[in-house]
Structure 1
Amino acid sequence: MKDKVKKEIKQKQDKSKDYPFYMLIALVVVLPLVFTTTVESLFNVVKSTAFRMLSGLFFISLIIFLWNKLKQNRFEYIANRAIDSAVLFIFLGAVISTVFSINPYVSLFGQYSRQIGLITYAILTLLYFLSSITLSNTEKRDKLLFAMSLTGALVGAYSILQYFGLDPFKVQIVAYVRPMSSMGTSVFAAGLMVMVLPFAVIRAFQNKFSFTTVIIPVIILAGIIISQTRTVYAALLFELILFCIFYPYVLKPDIIRYNNARRTGLIILGIIVIALIAANIFLSHNIYIKRFQSIVTITETQRWVLWKTTLNMFGHYPITGTGISTFSRGLEDFLTIALKNKDASPYYDNAHNNYLHTLAVMGIIGLAAYLYMLFTGVRYSIASVLNKSEKKSRQYIFVAFLCMFGGYIVYGLADFDELTHLAYLFIFLAAFKSELFSAGKGVILKFSNKSKIKFGNIFVFSAAVVVMFSLFNIYDAYVDFKADKVYHEGLANYNYFNGNITELNSKLNRVIELNPRAEYRFSYAYHNYFYCFDNPMLNAVSSKPILKAAEDQLRIAVKNHPSELECLALLSLIKYDEGDTIEAEKLKNEVLAKDTLQTDFRVNLSRYYFKSRKDDLALEQLNIVYKYEPNNVDAYFTSLIYMMKKKEYKSAEECCNAILRIEPKNIEVLKYLNEIKRLKDIKK
């Protein structure tokens, strides 16, 4: 009977030790796939919530498991000085850049749009160190890598469905022809798929190309191709080159197979080169060929100008950078006509280059840490592939790791990481370290009876900190998600033209109470301003308290908002509407001195001038917008309203046609066009 009880206890313990691993699997599967239309930010906030909650549950479950191991005197930790120090180095760089940030608060918590701050790097660092404990078993590593590959295939499958117009969740933006999948953009989806592809391919090789193993890389490859992402095309090509060069070394003990593999690799590369040349000649108008061709014309795009502007910004913050998540605020002091002429975006939240972005926000310290981490991965991968004494099964995996690192490095040359990419990278590093240990590279840290008491005290303190940190993240992530859900409900139920602003403000106040982000405060000010501006039933007296509340929220928001200029521009418009033209002009001049274009601001200024019967000033603003952003629909629509009021139907018709050339299915403009034809017929 006692033996039976002991056996049952042992079985429960054996099962409990797998709980952390199941949580890790849940994290790598859920994070790329999760999204919901019940919140306003259906990708970023949702993925941040999943990341913080699942990682927190993983940490807590693993600490419970480690505590049991410690009580049994069986606590061990696999260490690799090079990789461990690289991860600690990048976390240290994140800490330093936050301490010396131009806005430490934003650097700590991140922005609404990207959700990456120092807290994120703390979670990633813990994820690396604690995942490596869970992945010390070869079988678990294989399961994890398979789960990541399968998830990549699911992302690819969703891209394929969207490509054929079969989006079951209706998240694909109609005007955005490239599949967004479950990642929010085609770039992020393709970036994730190119990271997991090498492991799916190696698995197919190891299983002699069985259908179930081949279908996964085929779906991933198809998802990458239809994404039309140039940097991922380049990354895919580089991965193929690395594979053709290093895979034959796995077969080197068998000279015949080695020579055949090397010859086959060269033939494949030759065929691809010839196919690309032929496609560029005979299929030059194909959209995919055009995207591939545009890789070599990167210097003609806005990214090239953005990179030069980023380097200019780096020169003023060389050591520690502007701080994590402060790129947009830092760049506003260095905006140029050349950059805005290429892309008149309200603000830029990333350099579209992992290395320049890291250099800008984390300085030389951060970039050195980032490059050292990637260099360590590449160096150990190559050394392990070329190691003749290495087991063939491990060499296969190291070829996959080498291709993954290579593809990721190329992807980062002209694109940037989303939260999922970073999580996958650090988990890959943990699996890589564990694989290196199995290959004899690394040490096991054991604790003797003498050091057990001292280590036990350290463990208890560290575990308590990690558990409290995890609980904070789980709760805070839930609150953030709830706030964005309330925000979405408020906007969804608000009719812009005749909506109840009191009801909307009630929702927005609740949102700010839950999560006082600057972006929510800005939204409050934005909607209240336009409610007053567009509402003919309001006079100066009745609109005054509404505008005052909007101004109060905006003055708080400007401290932490991604764009100071966007806040000041809106504040200028509010001041105009309040009748304080002196302050409004001062703010307007401050905004336009830093950013000469500010097309959105100029369009709104023109609307104010039209309303104030200052038509010449309004047209002056619109002409500037047309000059630098000829496809600005808002500018044409503002002109359309003005022409309709002036009863200049020919000019109004021209505005309608201009909008329809940009947006052929604009229902509101089509209605105006029919109305214009009716009025012209009456006039005749």
Structure 2
Amino acid sequence: MFLLPLAFSWDTFDRYALPKLLVARVLIAGLVVLWLARLAITRSVVVRRTALDLPLLAFVLSAALSTVFAYNPNVAIFGTYSRYDGLLTLGSYAALFWLAVQTLATPSDARGMVRTLLAGGYAVSAIAILQSITDSLRLGELTPAFGTMGQKNALGALLAMLLPLACWELFAGRSRAGRLLALNAGALIGVALVLTFSRSAWVAGAAGLAIVLVAVQPSRRARFIAVGALAAIAVLGAAAASAAVQAQGVPLQRTDLLALGDRPAVWRDTLQLIASRPLLGYGPDNFGLVFGRFESVDLHQPWDKAHAEILQVAATQGLVGLGAYLWLIAAFVLAFWRGPRGPASYAMLGGWVAYQLVVQVNFTMLAAAFPFWAFTAASVVLMGATREGARANLPRGRLVLGASAIGAVAAVGVGVAGAALPYAADQRVLAAVIDDYAGHSDLALAPAQEARLLAPQESVYATEVGNLAFERQDWALAREAYAEAARLGTFNPGVYRNLALADINLGLTAEAEDAARHAFELDRFDPANRALLAQFGVVP
């Protein structure tokens, strides 16, 4: 759990999201092995039930149903490159939650997991603060912190979730050393949170802290001192970091903090997208493949997410998925309400609410989502929202041991393969990109083809092969690779433009026009797409 937010790779093209996904897969495989080992040792099957089991299962099943009828089934299963928000990842969230609940036997175990997540957040915060300072000095402008998370809102979601937990540890600490550790963790997390410049994370972190303050019972003076100390240290720390940057001549003004940007326009157009396929949606992670059809104003860049989680779920999984999602939210709140509602429960609620507030104006990012589901598992245990289901005693003998061993070997095999193959593929595509940038496109083609073989579901790898062939004017290979990238699913109009040009050079006029139409559908405001379509006598 400690490594989930820290996972990072220097030798893959996707340095941030992919390593975390692969660590999560290995972690899930390890939890399966632990569960099977306990089954073999105790000779019994005990399944802990939670209030979230049924709504979470319904949510995953709705995603599976949407996948069956998805606009692009490949994207619905695997997700788009660097997002990976397909059915497999949604299932991984559910698996991590369920297996973590089975592993956490007592509230003490759950609190240990919370502290592990806090330790990981502490390390991420330290890295993010250093990254923000060094990037600001290098670029000559104040740069948001993102650290190993790869994006400021992903870091903000994680830290906003963890800040109430650090505050709870501060109040619950029984020793001065424990309280100092909690204060240290909360302060560093607070500094990093300020430096994200993520407004949603600021609001979410404040809301989470407010929920914790409602719950704690010490005197008002103690509350004021503790929270005041956290806030003061966070602000002073951020100010010190900013002063260090300003001393090198970097301006501190950020003019974008009060701007809404293009989100309102995206939300408005997303409503039209939802209305076009309301029941089951377009399939997990398919938003970017279809949003261009509903884009009413020029947004100047591709938008592959609705930047509002409720709208994102409705667009990709329809009203069926939205109903399951709202059921899941209600189930957590109800589990809190029916529980003992002690300080620990309020802390869990504070962290959970903080995370939800961030994603409701952004979207689920796996860098923060995997820690969130581990945290949610610990939350339901600490809130007393688990119960032991039916116990099934297993017969003694070698059959149970053998079956458990086979299952464990299978889990390890799937986990290792699920991590090793994507990792090797991304290494190879990075090698191809490096060779291409160095002017050695002849050397770049082989590793790009290897990446494509190792991960045949990745549209980006097929696109890289197409790009290399396009540079060499190998129109047949370029057409084959771009066509495969289009089949696998992409929201990059450049793929369709280049496919159209390859078709033109091969004398395939009808196919070229079809590719040009697809490029125009993805971005009707791009002059390049409009000009290409006009070559076929079509007035955009």
- TM-score computed with the length of structure 1 as normaliser: 0.68
1:217 deviation in Å?
0.5
Alignment of 1:376-391 (within 5 A): 376-384=331-339, 386=341
Instruction: Report 1:478-497 matches (<5 A).
Output: 478-495=420-437
- 2:47 maps to which residue? 77
Cα distance, 1:188 vs structure 2: 0.8
Change (3 A) 1:321 1:120: same
2:479 to 535, 551, 555: 551
The structure-2 alpha-carbon separation of the partners of 1:137 and 1:362, relative to structure 1 and needing over 3 Å to count, comes to same
Report the equivalent of 1:16: none
Residue 308 in structure 1 maps to residue 263 in structure 2: no
1:328 paired to 2:288: yes
Distance 1:515 1:87 in 2: 29
Tell me what 1:401 maps to. 348
- Residues 78-135 of structure 1: per-residue CA shift (max 9 Å, x gap): 323x222122122222222212212222211222221222222222222222211211
Partner amino acid, structure 1, of 2:267 = W
Superposed counterparts of 1:459-478, under 5 Å: 468=410, 471-478=413-420
Determine the C-alpha separation between the residues in 2 that align with 1:175 and 1:312.
38
Alignment partner of 1:521 is 2:462: yes
Counterpart of 2:106 (choices 112, 137, 145) is 137
Cα shift at 1:514: 1.2
Residues 1:54 and 2:27 aligned together: yes
Write the deviation string for residues 256-311 of structure 1: whole angstroms up to 9, x where unpaired. x4x7678x59x97xx99xx9xxxxxxxxx9746x55544xxx3xx21111111111
Q: Would the alpha carbon gap of residues 132 and 448 (structure 1) be closer, same or farther in structure 2, given more than 3 Å must change?
A: closer
Q: Quick check: 1:197 aligned with 2:163?
A: yes
Distance in 2, Cα, partners of 1:85 & 1:466: 26
Q: 1:344 corresponds to which residue?
A: 300
In the alignment, what sits opposite 2:7?
34
- Provide the rounded CA distance (Å) in 2 between the counterparts of 1:231 and 1:574: 44
Shifted more, 54-63 versus 193-202: the winner is 54-63
Q: Of the candidates 312, 316, 329, which is equivalent to residue 361 of structure 1?
A: 316
Aligned with residue 186 of structure 1, among 149, 152, 155: 152
CA distance, structure 1, for counterparts of residue 168 and residue 412 of structure 2:
35
Give me the whole-angstrom Cα distance separating, in 1, the residues matched to 2:331 and 2:111.
Answer: 22
User: What is the letter of the counterpart of residue 197 of structure 1?
Assistant: L
> Identity of aligned pairs, percent?
20
C-alpha contact (below 8 Å) 1:329/1:562 kept by paired residues: yes
**Alignment partner, residue 254 of structure 1:** none
| Unpaired segments ≥5 residues, structure 1 | 1-27, 252-256, 276-284, 387-394, 533-542, 610-623, 625-684
Kindly state the Cα deviation for residue 329 of structure 1 after the two structures are TM-superposed.
1.2
Which position in structure 1 is the counterpart of 2:449? 509
Distance 2:146 2:461 in 1: 25
Distance 1:132 1:583, change over 3 A: closer
DSSP-derived class of the 1:445 partner? strand
Distance in structure 1 (CA, Å) of the matches to 2:210 and 2:14: 38
**In the alignment, does 2:71 pair up with 1:102?**
yes
8 Å contact 2:422–2:454 — kept in the other structure? yes
Q: Partner amino acid for 2:365?
A: E
Q: Counterpart in 1 of 2:489?
A: 561
Give the aligned residue type for 2:481.
Q
SS at match of 2:294: coil
What corresponds to 1:433 in structure 2?
Answer: 380
Q: CA distance change for structure 1 residues 320 and 469 in 2, over 3 Å: closer, same or farther?
A: farther
AA partner of residue 525 (structure 1): G
Do the aligned partners of 2:524 and 2:530 also contact (CA within 8 Å) in 1? no
Conserved? CA contact 1:199–1:400, under 8 Å: yes
CA offset digits 1:355-376 (Å, max 9, x no partner): 1111111111222222222222
Structure 1 pair 226/39, CA: closer, same or farther in 2 (3 Å)?
same
**Contact 1:39/1:485 (CA < 8 Å) preserved in 2?**
yes
Deviations 1:612-647, CA, capped at 9 Å, x for gaps = xxxxxxxxxxxx9xxxxxxxxxxxxxxxxxxxxxxx
Please tell me whether the aligned partners of residues 352 and 376 of structure 2 are also in contact (alpha carbons under 8 angstroms): no
Q: 1:472 to 1:554 in 2, by over 3 A?
A: same
Find the aligned partners of 1:379 and 1:350 in 2 and give their Cα distance: 29
Q: Is the 8 A contact 2:482 2:495 kept in 1?
A: yes
Closer/same/farther in 2, CA of residues 293 and 166 from structure 1, 3 Å limit: closer
1:324, distance to aligned residue in structure 2 (A): 0.8
Provide the C-alpha distance between the structure 2 equivalents of 1:309 and 1:506, rounded to a whole number of angstroms: 42
Which residue of structure 1 lines up, in the alignment, with residue 120 of structure 2? Answer: 151
Match of 1:374 among 326, 329, 339: 329
Distance 2:159 2:29 in 1: 25
Q: Hey, what's the Cα distance between the residues in 2 that align with 1:599 and 1:76?
A: 61
1:319 partner SS:
coil
1:247 corresponds to: 215
| 1:325 Cα deviation from its structure 2 partner | 1.5
Distance 2:509 2:191 in 1: 57
Residue type matched to 2:215 in 1? Y
Question: Displacement, 1:77?
Answer: 3.1
In structure 2, relative to structure 1, the CA distance for the partners of 1:157 and 1:448 (3 Å cut) is closer
**TM-superposed deviation, 1:147:** 0.9
Question: Are 1:128 and 1:427, in contact at CA under 8 Å, matched by a contact in 2?
Answer: yes
- Aligned residue number for residue 279 of structure 1: none
**How many residues are treated as equivalent by the alignment?**
512
Tell me if the contact between 1:326 and 1:562 (Cα under 8 Å) persists in the aligned partners: no
**CA shift in 2, pair 1:589/1:418, >3 Å:** closer
Separation (CA, whole Å) in 2 of partners of 1:146 and 1:448: 33
Considering only aligned residues, what root-mean-square deviation do their CA atoms show, in Å? 3.5
- The CA distance in 2 between the partners of 1:329 and 1:293, in whole Å, is 30
The verdict on how the C-alpha distance between 1:586 and 1:247 changes in structure 2, with shifts beyond 3 A counting, is: closer
Q: Deviations over 1:314-372 (max 9, x none)?
A: 11221211111211112233233x1xx2x321x32211111111111111122222222
Matches within 5 A, 1:553-592: 553-563=481-491, 565-577=493-505, 584=512, 587-588=515-516, 591-592=519-520
2:26 and 2:416 in contact (8 A); partners too: yes
Say whether the 8 Å CA contact 2:142–2:252 is kept in structure 1: no
Query: What CA deviation, in whole Å up to 9, does each residue of 1:28-67 have, x standing for no partner?
Result: 2112111112111111222222111222122123212222
Is the CA contact 2:66–2:317 (under 8 Å) kept in the aligned structure 1? yes
**Kindly tell me: are residues 595 and 196 of structure 1, through their superposed partners in 2, closer, same or farther at Cα, counting changes over 3 Å?**
same
Measure, in 1, the Cα distance between the counterparts of 2:517 and 2:46.
Answer: 63
**Residue of structure 1 in register with 2:238 after alignment:** none
SS at match of 1:372: helix
- What is the CA distance between 1:502 and its match in structure 2? 2.7
Residue by residue, what CA displacement relative to the aligned partner does 1:579-636 show, whole Å, maximum 9, x if unpaired? 6677645643553366322256579x79xx9xxxxxxxxxxxxxx9xxxxxxxxxxxx
Distance 1:173 1:443 in 2: 54
Cα distance between partner residues in 2 of 1:55 and 1:597: 44
- Checking the alignment, whether the CA contact within 8 Å between 1:374 and 1:405 is kept in structure 2 is no
Normalized against structure 2, the TM-score is what?
A: 0.85
Distance 1:54 1:599, change over 3 A: farther
Provide the secondary structure at the position in 2 that maps to 1:315.
Answer: helix
> What corresponds to 2:204 in structure 1?
235
- Mapping of 1:244-323 within 5 angstroms? 244=213, 246-248=214-216, 250=217, 257=219, 287=253, 293-294=258-259, 298=260, 301-323=261-283
Q: Aligned partners of 2:284 and 2:14: how far apart in 1? A: 21
Which aligned pairs between 1:157-168 and structure 2 lie closer than 5 A?
157-165=126-134
